[in-house]
Amino acid sequence: MAISCGIDFGTSNSSVAIAQHDQVILVPVEKTHITIPSAIFIPPQGYNPIYGRAAVKMFFDRQEGRFMRSLKRVLGTPLMKHGTQVNGKPLKFEKIIASFIQNLKERANILAKEEIENVVMGRPVHFVDNDKDADHRAQEELTSIAQRIGYKHVEFQFEPIAAAFAHEVNIKGEKLAIVADLGGGTSDFTVIRLSSQYAAKADRAEDILANTGVRVGGNDFDKDLALSSIMPELGYLSTYGKKNLEVPLKYYHDLAEWSKVNLLYSPKVLSQVRQFFHESHDKRRFGRLLKLLEQERGHSLLSTAEDTKIALTTRADHTASFDFLEKDFAIPISRKQFEDAIQHEVGKISKAATECLLKSGIKADKIDLVILTGGSTEVPLVQLAFKKLFPQAAVADENKLSSVGIGLAYDSRKKFR
C-alpha cells in the first residue's frame, strides 16, 4: 500500500496525518504539537518564514517583519492574483501559502522517513458562498500549490466528511450522523451513514446523504465581538466635521478581519485617518485608532478579541486589556454581549445545518449522532443551537482540532491503495 497523507489546511489551525502500514498517525507539526496555528511571520531579510506559535510569538515580541493569518480565506478571491506587499516588496499569496503547506509536508516526510507523494487535501463545502467560479478557482489554486511543493497525486475531500471518517472507526452498528465542522472561516455540514464496517469501502457515495456549507466561522465571531464591544472605544460610529458625518466604517471592518488588517498600514490610509482625526468630534477614542494603525497593532487587537471569545466560553464576564495601546485601557465584556453580537452568525449556521437535513430527506429525530469539530463548536451559544436542533442525538466532540486531519488520512488510504 502506497504511503499517503491528509492535510487539513485550516483558516485558524492546520494539521497533517499520515497513513502508513495500516496505521493513521497525526504528525507533530510544531515541536510536540499535533496542530499548528495557520500563521506566518516573514522577517525583513530574504524569504525565511517562521510558522505557527513561533510566528505569533515573534509578532507579539515586536520583531521586525510581516505577520499574516487566515490565509485560507484568500483562496478564490482577487487577492490571489494581486498579492501583497511584504517588507516593501511584492509577494504572491501562492508562494506564501505554498511555503506554509510545504512546512507541513516536510514534517510528515520526517515522520514517514520517506518522501510522500500522495495527499488528500481538505476543503470546505464552499470556499466562497454563492460563487461557483470562485469556489472552483480556490480548489484549482490549492491543487497547483500542492503540486508545486512536490505532491504528484492530489485528491480532495470535504472537511465534514473527513471528520466523520475519523469518528467512524469507533462506531458499532450503523448510525445516522450529522457532522458540524465549524472552523475559523467556514461552517460545513454533512449527513452521513456511519459504521465501522463501512470504513473500508472505497466508494462512500451512497452513505453521504447531503452536504451544505456557509462562509461563517470563528473569525466572524471575532469580528462581531470586536465591532460591537471594542471598536466603539476606538471611535467606531463617531462623527467628524461641520456636517457631523459618520467616520468611514471600512477602516473598522478591515481592522476586524485577520486577512485584511495589513491593508490598513499603507501611507494612503494613514494619511486619510490623520485627516479624519483633525476633524473628529471624539479625538480621544478616534485617536486610539490612529495610534493603533501608526504602530501596526491591529493583530494585537484581534488577538485580544479572540482571547476574549475563548474566555467567554467558560466565564460569564471578561475584562479585555489593551495595555499595548494605552496604559490601563481595558474593556469589560460579558458573555451576553458576545452572544448578542454573534446571534446573526449562529442563525446562519443553524440555517445551513437545517438545509443539510432537508437535502438529506432525514428528519431531525432520526439523527443518532451529532459530530462537532472545529474550535468554534466550543462556544456555548453554538452548542445550545445544536441541542435545540437535535435534542435526542448523542454528541461526539473529541479531537475537535485534529479530527479532520485524521479523517483525511483515512480517506487517503482508500484513495491511494
- Strand 394-396 and strand 187-194: the pairing is unpaired
* Banded model confidence at residue 323, pLDDT cuts 50, 70, 90: very high
pLDDT of residue 201 exceeding 80, the answer is no
From 339, 361, 382, give the residue that closes a domain: 339
Q: What percent of the chain has pLDDT over 90?
A: 83
Arithmetic mean of pLDDT, 58-78: 91
User: What pLDDT digit, counting tens, does each position of 120-136 carry?
Assistant: 999 999 898 888 999 99
Q: Which domain holds residue 308?
A: 219-339
pLDDT of residue 112 exceeding 70, the answer is yes
User: What pLDDT digit, counting tens, does each position of 138-175 carry?
Assistant: 999 999 999 999 999 999 999 999 999 999 888 888 99
- For residue 265, being part of any structural domain is answered with yes
Q: Where are the alpha helices (DSSP H) in 156-208?
A: 159-168
**Contacts of 263-268 spanning 24+ positions with Cβ under 8 A:** 264/293, 264/298, 265/293, 265/296, 265/298
Number of domains in the chain: 2
User: What pLDDT digit, counting tens, does each position of 336-382 carry?
Assistant: 999 999 999 999 999 999 999 999 999 999 999 999 999 899 999 99
pTM: 0.86
Q: Are residues 254 and 112 in the same domain?
A: no
Q: What span, in angstroms and rounded, lies between the C-alpha atoms of 6 and 415? A: 11
pLDDT of residue 1 exceeding 70, the answer is no
From 290, 312, 339, give the residue that closes a domain: 339
The enclosing domain of 48 has a CATH number of 3.30.420.40
Cβ distance 161 to 407 under 8 Å?
Answer: yes
* Banded model confidence at residue 202, pLDDT cuts 50, 70, 90: confident
Residue 300: CB partners within 8 Å, gap ≥ 6?
60, 324, 325
